[in-house]
Chain A
């Protein structure tokens, strides 16, 4: 099956700093999503981005499907950005199968 690797596994930032999280995947995908799991365990969908670039406030994401990677950019980080960021993909079998495979996540800690 498809492999999803996220880097770095852990990241500590000072408030106000910028960061880039990376997601590499081993095969073609028809679905890629980024999630933030806050310290209380709630998973929040950040982006649905199987290809291209999207921006939402201080967050933006880019997926280069042909190169099999996606990047999540966080600018001017805030303490509320702390938590675990997951990339999840669905392998492209020619249709939507509903099976999103999650990476192990990047744990972000933003210090005041």
Chain B
């Protein structure tokens, strides 16, 4: 078990381009979450999956954002037509929901800079 893995670690893009991030959760975990963090703030919830089903999306997730988790394994987060305001750290987390312990384990994040 190597923990939650995110790629790439850094992404620099020009405004208007599309970007895609990947997250590989801890293998036995059934929930996968996407959060966004800007400097000096706590992480903000974007969306989460229970297995392959996307169960909740934040109002922060505009129609330019889409997330998938095919077959309940890895997940991708795509941002279309990036804007400078999208610059942030994008964090992925996973958990095993048992009803007793729902600890979230975070990856190292993908730092997005939109120029």
A-B contact count (CB 8 A): 51
| A99 and B44 in contact, given A33-B103, A41-B109, A45-B104 (Cβ under 8 angstroms) | no
Q: State which of A13-21, A61-69, A74-82, A101-109 sits at the interface with chain B.
A: A101-109
Which residue of chain A has its CB nearest to the CB of B32?
A: A98
| A98 and B33 in contact, given A42-B108, A43-B106 (Cβ under 8 angstroms) | yes
Cβ-defined contact, A98 with B89, below 8 A = no
> Which residues on the B side are within 8 Å of A96 (C-beta)?
97, 102
Interface residues of A, count at CB 8 A: 21
> Which residues on the A side are within 8 Å of B69 (C-beta)?
none
> Which residues on the A side are within 8 Å of B91 (C-beta)?
43
B2: Cβ under 8 A from any A Cβ: no
Please report A residues at the B interface, Cβ cutoff 8 Å. 31, 33, 35, 41-45, 48, 86, 88, 96-105
